[in-house]
Structure 1
Amino acid sequence: MSAIGPVEPGGETRPSAPPPLPHGPRGPLGSHHGHLARLYGRHRRTVLAALTAAAVLAAGVLLYTTRPRQPPPPAAPFPSQVTAVTYLKPQARGPETNKRNFSFIVELTVESGPPVTVTHISQPYTGLSTTSSPHVPFRTKEGSPRKIVITLRVTECGELPGNVGLPFLDVTLRNTRAIRTHSFILGPRYAQDLSTALQVACSNDFR
């Protein structure tokens, strides 16, 4: 009976090399390293994005803080500073006009700034009532002078002076800045025409 024992190396016969260790993404160690690499890549991208956003934000804040601030727009002028009332002439009277009613024409001009609204017109004499055409309130803007007919009606001659010195109109004006009442002195022609009208209206009834 014969038996075959282990083959002894000899000649060109050599023991075979051991199989290579697993590496790369296929083995367990390779999978672990690959996972770590992916985590690192994602973390790196997140950090870079955060740093970029912070840099952009910092640049914007720096630009905002270093940019010179624009001065606020100037405030609108007070309405009385830019409004003028000029006396033009007495309005012609018709034959049927009551002698105790008389009218004068004035012109209101806004020289600059926002539109001005006239909310009230009056005069200082208690023996006279005052109305206007157009009726208040009405608005006038820059570059558009407004003619106004002021009608006065004598209600009590005893409350009126025989000779008017410097008569004026109290006009309440409003714009986006304020509302103010201003006294406009209309000059000697208006004083003379008003005195004449009062003489006709009251004859000898002056106190």
Structure 2
Amino acid sequence: MSGVGPLEPGEGTHAGDVDTDGVPGVRRGPLARLPDRHRRAVLTAATAAALLAGGGYVYATRPHKPPAPAPPYPSQVVDITYLHTEATPRGAPAGSFSFEVALRVQSGPPVTVTRMAQPYAGLSLTSEPAVPFRTAAGSIRKITITMHVTDCAKAPENAGLPFLDVTLRNTHAIEAHSYIPGPRYAHDLSQALQVACSNRSG
């Protein structure tokens, strides 16, 4: 007796592995059960997520540029040099005398001088240009310093190592610094003080 019995699953297939078209032996994944438009949306989102993840990894692992070095402290790049005596400005009080110094900024951002002073109680000081004034890197600014004797009793008879007190500011810091312009400045200052006080009456 011959006949046709039920279909047996082939090798490597299982009963029930039937696609939507009734073709046996084809396993369908979860995306296959979605309509085409939904499947495309899911695949697009997955691709975008993979690209974002890859881009984030590349960004996180890229070589970083080292930070720019901080600007120098202003006192590290400024020097003040004594030049010579100078004619006393017109209209200065009696007992005044003047000097010229050169301020040089070697490098870094511009430096502003916000204050100039000297240490003796019997003297006052003004400058031209008047503070505050700014000097750029690589520049030399000539400054006329005029001192006026306010009290000879408190002024030194012999200025041994006189200095100038200068407050400097740049983008990194504000510093109060003392400069010793040198032995010629000490000599000329001592002579000017002797002349000024010997000419004072009372």
Q: Normalising by structure 2, what TM-score?
A: 0.79
CA distance in 1 between partners of 2:137 and 2:86 (Å): 26
Aligned to 1:65: 60
The aligned residue for residue 76 of structure 2 is 81
| Larger CA Rg, structure 1 vs 2 | 1
Shift of the 161–178 alpha-carbon distance from structure 1 to 2, 3 Å rule, reads same
Q: Say whether the 8 Å CA contact 2:88–2:96 is kept in structure 1.
A: no
- The reply to whether residue 90 of structure 1 matches residue 102 of structure 2 is no
* Counterparts of 1:174 and 1:96, CA distance in 2: 31
Is 1:141–2:140 an aligned residue pair? Answer: no
Identity %: 63
Task: Report what 1:106 is aligned to.
Answer: 101
Task: Output the CA distance in 1 between the equivalents of 2:182 and 2:93.
Answer: 26
Q: C-alpha displacement at 1:61, in angstroms?
A: 0.8
SS at match of 1:117: strand
Name the Cα RMSD after superposition: 2.1
Unaligned runs of 5+ in 1: 1-36
Structure 1 Cα separation of the partners of residues 167 and 73 of structure 2 = 12
Rounded to whole Å, the distance in 2 between the matches of 1:150 and 1:77 is: 27
More helix by share: 1
Matches of 2:116 and 2:87, distance apart in 1: 21
AA at the equivalent of 2:122: G
| Per-residue deviation, 1:92 | 2.7
Distance 2:134 2:91 in 1: 32
The separation in 1 between residues aligned to 2:190 and 2:137, in whole angstroms, is 33
The one-letter code of the counterpart of 1:61 is G
* In structure 1, C-alpha distance between the alignment counterparts of 2:146 and 2:100, rounded to whole Å: 9
**TM-score if structure 1 supplies the norm length?**
0.77
Which runs of no fewer than 5 residues in structure 2 stay unpaired? 1-31
